[in-house]
Amino acid sequence: MSKRRIGVYPGTFDPITNGHLDIIQRASRMLDTLVVGVARNAGKGPLFSTDERLQMVREEVAALDKNGCVIEVRAFDTLLMHFAIENNASVIIRGLRAVSDFEYEFQMAGMNARLNPKIETMFLMASERHQFISSRFVKEIGRLGGDITQFVSPRVNKHLAERFALDDDISKRMQTLKQ
């Protein structure tokens, strides 16, 4: 009997983009189980709550061709290495978009290897059409009324549009109260 290959793909996913989905789908070809770890990261000031991000990631994963891989979505607020160990992972999946990502990811992989040399870090280069997509840019473009439909799924686009409409409504109310 062969050993099951379990991987963890961590991120904030605020929101999940087509680039993230590309990495998830490609990782699913190499693993038996992939745990998508949604980091709570309150310090980053996410646009969406952890529960909202979990819901979005689960919706997106449900629509993917999983290549026979079991994909689970879980929140975490621990050290990544602890999360990987809790999930019996032997590999951490990291996506690279550009050379600028490499230095940070290389340092993190080195630290993780020191914490637990039994868990490997696997880097997947973003597909050419997804190399420039970042959640930060998607939020900025969407907030300013730009078209983000090529960067996120229709479901995520709808979540973003609703959030930006709510934020605009709250902002208008605050202006009215100040007057």
Per-residue pLDDT tens for 51-88?
A: 999 999 999 999 998 989 999 999 999 999 999 999 99
Give me the helix-helix angle, 18-28 and 50-62, nearest 10°: 60
From 58, 97, 155, 163, the catalytic residue: 97
Angstrom distance (rounded) from CA 165 to CA 74: 28
Residues 6 or more apart from 132 whose CB is under 8 A from it? 97, 98
Concerning whether 3 is annotated as a catalytic residue, the answer is no
Q: What is the pLDDT of residue 172?
A: 57
| 16 has a pLDDT exceeding 90 | yes
From 20, 94, 139, 159, the catalytic residue: 20
Residue 17 tokens read as: 């983009």
| 176 has a pLDDT exceeding 70 | no
Concerning whether 143 is annotated as a catalytic residue, the answer is no
- pTM for this entry: 0.89
Concerning whether 97 is annotated as a catalytic residue, the answer is yes
pLDDT tens-digit map of 146-173: 999 999 999 999 999 999 987 665 555 5
Q: Concatenated DSSP letters for 54-98?
A: HHHHHHHHHTS--TT-EEEEEEE-S-HHHHHHHTT-SEEEEEE-S
Concerning whether 20 is annotated as a catalytic residue, the answer is yes
From 130, 135, 139, 153, the catalytic residue: 135
